[in-house]
């Protein structure tokens, strides 16, 4: 079976595992959507200390990465990332406590939803009693 992005259930922050899974998007407030792309971006910013490096790691432009961070900042009413201006010492970015919390809560919700849905997802792949084949 091909590997695909699914909910992380074993502490894998990348959310990579083989088999059935979920893609979770949260809508905590009007106009604010938090999904796997924004969460991966925050994780990469935390790892790399840079919005541009995080964007590169995910195959997106700096502009797109910055727009996603700004969407989160606006929607949550507080920053998820703090930036330092570049220059001789170089700039950088770091997650705020809110940014870290967004990742933690999203991954927790994702894992709980995956655990709850997994038996039903697997059931979709099994033959039914009426003789219909399972699988896609």
Domain 26-125 belongs to what topology? Arc Repressor Mutant, subunit A (1.10.10)
Question: Considering only CA atoms, which of 35, 36, 56, 53 is closest in space to residue 45?
Answer: 53
More confident residue, 91 or 109: 109
| Residue 55 near residue 62 (C-beta atoms within 8 A) | yes
Q: Is the dihedral of CA 9, 10, 14, 17 positive or negative?
A: negative
pLDDT digits (tens, 9 = 90+) for 77-95: 999 999 987 666 667 999 9
Ramachandran quadrant class, 95 (left: phi over 0; alpha: psi -120 to 50; beta: rest) = beta
Band of residue 21 on the pLDDT scale cut at 50, 70, 90: confident
């Amino acid at each position: 079976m091909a590997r695909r992005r699914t909910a992380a259930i074993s502490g894998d922050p990348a959310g990579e595992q083989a088999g059935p899974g979920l893609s979770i998007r949260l809508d905590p407030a009007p106009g604010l959507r938090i999904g796997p792309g924004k969460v991966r971006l925050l994780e990469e910013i935390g790892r790399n200390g840079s919005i541009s490096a995080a964007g590169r790691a995910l195959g997106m432009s700096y502009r797109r990465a910055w727009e996603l961070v700004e969407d989160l900042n606006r929607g949550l009413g507080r920053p998820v990332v703090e930036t330092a201006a570049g220059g001789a010492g170089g700039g950088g970015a770091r997650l705020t406590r809110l940014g870290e919390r967004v990742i933690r809560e999203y991954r927790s919700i994702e894992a709980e939803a995956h655990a709850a849905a997994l038996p039903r997802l697997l059931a979709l792949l099994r033959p039914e009693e009426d003789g219909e084949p399972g699988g896609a």
